[in-house]
Amino acid sequence: MFSAPNSETACGMFTLPHIISLILCVGAIILCVYLSRSISEKTLLLITRIMCIVYILWEVCKIIFKFIIGDTYLDHWVPLYYCSLFIYALIFLSFGRGRVYKLGEAFACGGCIVSGLAYLIIPATSLMDFPVYHFLSIHSMLFHSSMVYLGIMYIYKHRVGLNKKDYCYYSVFVGAFLLLSLILNSALNQNFMIIKNPVNIPIDFVNKIASSLPWLYTVMAILLYLTVPFFAVKLALFIIKRFKNKHI
């Protein structure tokens, strides 16, 4: 459960253990959303704060483990990836007010659902290096499941429609981290936010673009982060609304 990376024992992508863990995580998300459908705003805030504390502590444990096994590369332990932004969003939601709170809410509603599901389907990091029962693999699957769950709950409880103002908050929140990542990647030769090159992404044309035209890959990755997660959820909400109106 706390072993060093080993390609021979790694879970891998689209393997039986991965598929089983994916099914369990999706089932848990559906069950938790169903059981939480009637909770109060106060309870939702409490859940958010518990997640905030738990995942910050877990992130610290993850960093300590990386150093213990000798993996001290900055972009392997610094929480500066798209999904890592969930931690900062949790802080903003738990303790922020006004515009700071809205920044966290915009990311929770507009960024968490798609990115969380994308990782559960394509676990490009922990499961590629560790067995499914490793604490880093368990952390990754629970972390991204929590992203999906909390994103759905904030949309449902707060009736967030993802309008233009929400997108402004979302783009400012994500854009700030993208700008920081661009600076650090250039200055320190890192791959924060995975905008310098793809990591274990099983899409051939993306890997070909990254190897032949790295600047184009960076532009594409930035545009993807700034648009796809937000507008995919917005489209889903639009379809659900139309479906409901037809039935009414």
| Polymer length in residues for the chain | 248
pLDDT in tens, 179-222: 999 999 999 999 999 999 887 777 888 889 988 999 999 999 99
Contact 112, 147 (CB under 8 A): yes
Contacts of 220 (CB under 8 A, 6+ apart): 206, 209
Q: Kindly state the average pLDDT of the residues 77-83.
A: 93
pLDDT band at 244 (very low <50, low <70, confident <90, very high): confident
pLDDT in tens, 122-180: 998 888 888 999 989 999 999 999 999 999 999 998 877 789 999 999 999 999 999 99
H helix intervals, 69-158 = 74-77, 85-95, 98-110, 112-121, 126-129, 135-158
Contact 153, 36 (CB under 8 A): yes
SS (H, E, C) 171-217: HHHHHHHHHHHHHHHHHHCCCHHHCCCCCCCCCHHHHHHHHHCHHHH
Q: Is the pLDDT of residue 1 over 80?
A: no
To which residue do tokens 């039935």 refer?
247
Nearest to 214 by CA among 190, 186, 195, 192: 195
* Position 121, amino acid: I
